[in-house]
Amino acid sequence: MGTVPYEHSSIDPTRPSIARVYDYLLGGKDNYAADREIGDVFKRDLPGSVTVAFANRAALTRAIREIATTTGIRQFIDLGSGLPTADNVHQVAQRHAPDSRVVYVDNDPQVLVHGRALLENNERTRVVAADVRDPESIRTHRDTIEVIDFSRPVAVILSAILHHVNDDEDPAGIVRHWRDHVPSGSHFFVSHFRSGDNQETEEAEKVLQRTFGRGRWRTDAEIATLLDGLEILDPGIVPAPLWRPGRTENPWGSGEEREFTVWEQLIAAGLARKA
């Protein structure tokens, strides 16, 4: 889960945060009782849902590795980056291409505090406090301009963020803005809650809407529409565990193929390119 930021300037431990709930589900410690209360709803009432968070994180790691090793792109903008965990975008990118530069964007106060502390000594990264729904303010932010050269291809990372943008907030417009302001050869990675037309989807959506007033499951076709005007690369919009798994990589620790659970299919991933 990425985070659409709140309009708050300080950390409020009594109000749950999408970023901190996600951190809790991934086994992190940067969360409060209010976050754990919501996380426990998923753990207790929607058993198996935690799989979604891990499947998403693994797909993101593979996508950054793929971009860094096969495209020549050396600059990344991670929109709605969330709290730092293992294998953050800059760590994966710089592991494979040390000259990679990364701008993290979020407006959750705790994300900003932790992100800036983590990246204090990394000259090729910046953390920008901004709302993903205002892409122009991100693109023209002085920290973005310091790190990103918009005359060269950029990787725009929309990992688990667009499903927190409601329809009336124009999620397609967010993607379109970035599409129109990056050069040919730029790549867009998207992961998104995937509608399964089942009880699990409906219950999980209710929890997020009731708690945060947002959380929109979309079909594969709706997710593809968000990438209008971009070339969606193989294998298309697919369940995250099926998005370019490595030959020796298996999220379940087994070399045998098996049928996915409902939860394993409720997060989709895709990579697109601007021609």
Spell out the domain ranges in the chain: 18-245+259-273
Angle at 203 between CA 198 and CA 208, to 5 degrees: 130
- Report pLDDT digits (tens) over 4-16: 433 344 677 788 7
Confidence of residue 18 (pLDDT cuts 50, 70, 90): confident
pLDDT at 47: 67
Average pLDDT over residues 247-264: 56
Instruction: Kindly state the helix (H) or strand (E) to which residue 155 belongs, with its residue range.
Output: strand 155-159
Q: Which CATH number fits domain 18-245+259-273: 2.60.120.280, 3.30.43.10, 3.40.50.150, 3.40.50.300?
A: 3.40.50.150
Q: Is the peptide bond before 235 cis (omega within 30 degrees of 0)?
A: yes
- Full-model pTM: 0.83
SS3 191: strand
Two tokens, residue 193: 């809650």
Closest CA to 18 of 262, 222, 209: 209
pLDDT tens digits for 164-203? 898 999 999 999 999 999 999 999 999 998 887 777 777 7
Predicted local distance difference test score (pLDDT) of residue 102: 95
